[in-house]
Amino acid sequence: MKFALLPLAILAQSALGCALNAVAVLKNDQGAHGVATFSQELRNGPTKIHVEVWGLTEGNHGIHVHEYGDLTQGCNSTLAHYNPHNVTHGGPTDEIRHVGDLGNIYSPGPDQAAVLDITADLIQLHGRTSVIGRGMLIHSGEDDLGKGGSPLSSTTGNAGGRFLCAPIGWAAPKTTPQ
Ligand SMILES: *[C@@H]1O[C@H](CO)[C@@H](O)[C@H](O)[C@H]1NC(C)=O
Ligand SMILES: *[C@@H]1O[C@H](CO)[C@@H](O)[C@H](O)[C@H]1NC(C)=O
Ligand SMILES: [Cu+2]
Ligand SMILES: [Zn+2]
């Protein structure tokens, strides 16, 4: 009788929102700052990402998960876009893209919040390709989504300098509905 209740308990738990959560707190020497939050309900399911950043110049800025959360050389030591399947760079909805390719975040100007809400089906908090411990990165320029025709298009989207970065760490479960 006791064991029969177990699946019910698991169901009840997921109904209460047993998502895995992660966060990256972004900050740089030029006064730009923001937060990226990640939430994944189901293993192999999509991850909801919410980013809010201040201090970006007006326009689009490339945003990616990079391979490492290592900031010993600033954003440089996060190395390349997280790419466990060794494919070419793309946009966030392209079939061929890096796991870390999230496209661009649009800023209305440095004194206003730049906001991005994206549901990313390759970004995992569970399992072997989890982004936990990797690097969240926002660039000075726009990601051409692999279509810019420059030599860098197929690797970085030619998104310019590395402006803001932070490691992605575990965050506590949320107790309120999302
Ligand atoms: C990061 O790389 C850029 C471009 O190569 C370089 O200008 C900059 O000095 C590097 N920053 C650090 C902290 O190593
Ligand atoms: C990744 O792909 C490139 C180009 O297709 C290839 O040269 C390289 O050997 C591959 N790397 C790994 C680790 O498979
Ligand atoms: Cu990047
Ligand atoms: Zn990429």
Tens-digit pLDDT profile for residues 122-133? 999 999 999 999
Residue 60 maps to a domain: yes
Q: Which residue has the higher pLDDT, 16 or 25?
A: 25
Query: For atom 12 of ligand 1, which residue has the closest CA?
Result: 73
> Where on the phi/psi map is residue 133: left (φ > 0), alpha (ψ -120 to 50), or beta?
left
Residue 3 maps to a domain: no
Which pTM was predicted? Answer: 0.89
Mean pLDDT of the region 137-152: 97
**What CATH number has the domain bearing residue 104?**
2.60.40.200
DSSP class per residue in 79-132: -SB--TT------TT-SS--TTEEEEEEES-TTS-EEEEEEESS-BSSSTTB-T
Residue 97 maps to a domain: yes
Residue 1 maps to a domain: no
Residue 147 maps to a domain: yes
Tens-digit pLDDT profile for residues 51-87? 999 999 999 999 999 999 999 999 999 999 999 999 9
Residue 2 maps to a domain: no
Say how far residue 68 (Cα) sits from the centre of its chain. Answer: 12
Residue 80 maps to a domain: yes
For a substitution probing ligand 1, which of 66, 68, 76 has the most ligand atoms within 8 Å of its CB? 76
Domains identified in the chain, total number = 1
Pocket of ligand 1 contains residue 72 by CB under 6 Å:
no
Containing domain of residue 89, as a range?
19-171
Catalytic residue list contains 101: yes
